[in-house]
Amino acid sequence: MTHDAADTHVPHSDARITPVRSRRRLLGLILAGGAAPAFIGRAVAAQPGSPLPVPPLLDLDASAPQRLEAMAGRREFLAGARADVLGYGQGFLGPALRMTRGRAARIDLVNRLDEPTTVHWHGLHVPGELDGGPQSAIAPGARKSLSLLVDQPAATYWYHAHQHGRTAPQVYAGLAGLLILDDPRAADASLPQRWGVDDLPLVIQDRAFTRGGQLAYSAMGPTMMDGFKGSHILVNGALQPQARVPAAWVRLRLLNGSNARIYQLHFDDGRALQQIASDAGRLPVPVAHTRLLLAPGERAEVLVDFSSGSGARLLSAPDTNGHMADMMGAAASPPAVGEGGVFEVMRFATEPAGTGAARALPARLAGAALAPDWPAAVRRRVFTLDAHGGMRAGRGRGPMGGMAGMGRAGSMGGMMTINGRSFDMGRLDFATRRGEVERWEVRTEGMAHPFHVHGTLFQILSLDGVKQDFARTGWKDTVLVQDRAELLVRFSQRADRATPYMLHCHILEHEDAGMMAQFSVA
Ligand SMILES: [Cu+2]
């Protein structure tokens, strides 16, 4: 299962290797102190261009529970090297779970790991006890049966591990999957909807590998401060794959499932990404982007025109959020294919479009959310996400202060904060009530943070000083805040003190290090 830290190739002689704390710990994830594992073994040939894997669609309903097992497995990411991974019922990631609005969905969760885990339904409006937050840990060998019933807009949601302090490594190792919510009342026959043909789920993640082809991971020093970024891009678990699509309009369900990397997606030939849905519902009309910003946790459904028959490469601009790794020479970037460090995410090749292909971009989208008719906000709350608080607090603590202190596990506690406090599972940060509209102001210090709220959706009033048009942003549950955001939030489900909802930064290293708060909804 685990392998020796000696497998790690570390380029800097001064870099420290911290032994994996327990051999029963998760897989062979490498903990490399100080330097990010940007030292990907060039000895192992990376082979981009393999066919895009499409996760199976698993329909959930009330008739019989579907079993979802968190388990260890193996996956060949790099040619000839099988990596130890985690997944739901498979090696790395899990099936796409499909639910229907207004119909119960039964799931049996089974934990076959050797450590506790939880499964959080990112974006679903379910009561706190079903939300899969840190208080709902499932012990190794244990199981939990759930029945989820939601009444919210059709969209592409997702599920992932949310074990406090272990979310980043568990998701990194593969504990994530898509969750598709359908709404028969919002069915739109004009949209491409043949799963894996012209309706493609794309889970975009960056990873790093050891020379031996194992996943490499570190959450210390610069990789904790910036969030972990890898130098290889995976889509649905495959290295820069190629999708074959009909020469027609194709729907892409994009999820940024990365721990920290922010993408600015665009096509090499400049063709538009016509956004038809946001995190939590459809837009009224398609919104054309030549570049689509997608922060960790965010989703977007887009339509792309392949009707000319020419394929395309999906690219991204590099992520410049956070500068600690750059400063320390430990930044990991995928190989550049264009100016300014632009890198490839995946490729599309076309084949003749048969019957059933979408021939046009719809002018209007069925089931779209209109501007919310919410009553006025009854109170205001301010959340300041700070990635520097701990550095300031660290000064004057003697030899453990400053950068040296950051390299040590256990000294991260006060580093990442919301309103000056690091997450504490024993402390309820505030209490609110169902049905009441609140105005939330999110401020960020140090760098941009993707702000996510459990159990609801929100409207973005303004972002970094710019008023936002609801018709272009749609309903959101995650928003990247560079400076400040003003949101309108309302909850429809209960979350009691024992199983409160979370709000947190979706840079998973920040979340694990305490940039999270919890609240009840009565
Ligand atoms: Cu953050």
Task: Flag whether 133 is in a domain.
Answer: no
pLDDT digits (tens, 9 = 90+) for 210-262: 999 999 998 888 888 999 999 999 999 999 999 999 999 999 999 999 999 99
Do 437 and 509 fall into the same domain? yes
Instruction: Mark which of 306, 336, 351 sits at the end of a domain.
Output: 351
Q: What average pLDDT does this structure show over 492-508? A: 98
Has residue 511 been placed in a domain? yes
The model carries a pTM of 0.89
**Eight-state DSSP code of residue 372:** P
In whole numbers, what is the pLDDT of the chain averaged over residues? 87
Q: How far is the CA of 7 from the centre of ligand 1 (A)?
A: 30
Q: 472-489 pLDDT, tens per residue?
A: 999 999 999 999 999 999
Q: How far is the CA of 297 from the centre of ligand 1 (A)?
A: 12
Phi-psi region of 384 (alpha: psi -120 to 50; beta: other; left: phi over 0): beta
Res. 46 pLDDT band, cuts 50 70 90: low
In a domain, 283, yes or no: yes
172 belongs to a structural domain: no
Query: How far, in Å, from the CA of 316 to the mean position of ligand 1?
Result: 21
Domain that holds residue 435: 379-521
339 and 448, same domain (yes or no): no
pLDDT tens digits, one per residue of 356-379: 899 999 999 988 877 788 999 999
Residue 385 has pLDDT above 70, yes or no: yes
In terms of domains, do 385 and 342 share one? no
For 221, 412, 509, the CA distances from 404, given in Å and listed in that order, are 8, 12, 18
**Does the structure show a pLDDT above 60 at 345?**
yes
Based on the domain organization, do 334 and 452 belong to the same domain?
no
Query: Are 334 and 413 in the same domain?
Result: no
Residue 504 and residue 463 share a domain? yes
pLDDT of residue 5: 32
Determine the distance separating the centroid of ligand 1 and the alpha carbon of 382, expressed in angstroms: 16
Co-location of 391 and 328 in the same domain = no
Span from the CA of 416 to the centroid of ligand 1 (angstroms): 8
Q: Residue 408: name the closest of 283, 266, 224 by CA.
A: 224
Using the predicted structure, report yes or no on whether residue 94 has a pLDDT greater than 60.
yes
Contacts of 277 (CB under 8 A, 6+ apart): 155, 156, 283, 299, 300, 301, 365, 474
Alpha carbon of 450 to ligand 1 centroid (Å)? 6
Render 443-500 in DSSP notation, one character per residue: EEESS-EEEEETTEEEEEEEETTEE--HHHH-SBSEEEESSEEEEEEEE-S-B-SSS-
Q: How many domains does the chain have?
A: 2
The pair of three-digit structure tokens given for residue 441, joined into one six-digit string: 């102001």
**Is the CA virtual torsion 127, 132, 137, 140 positive or negative?**
positive
Query: Any idea what the CATH number is for the domain that residue 341 is in?
Result: 2.60.40.420
The pLDDT score that the predictor gives to residue 279 is 97
- In the predicted structure, residue 456 carries a pLDDT above the cut 80: yes
Domain membership flag for residue 70: no
Q: Which two three-digit tokens encode residue 394?
A: 């660290």
Average pLDDT of 138-146?
Answer: 97
91 within some domain: no
Same domain? For 387 and 330 the reply is: no
Query: Phi, psi at residue 30, to the nearest 5°?
Result: -85, 135
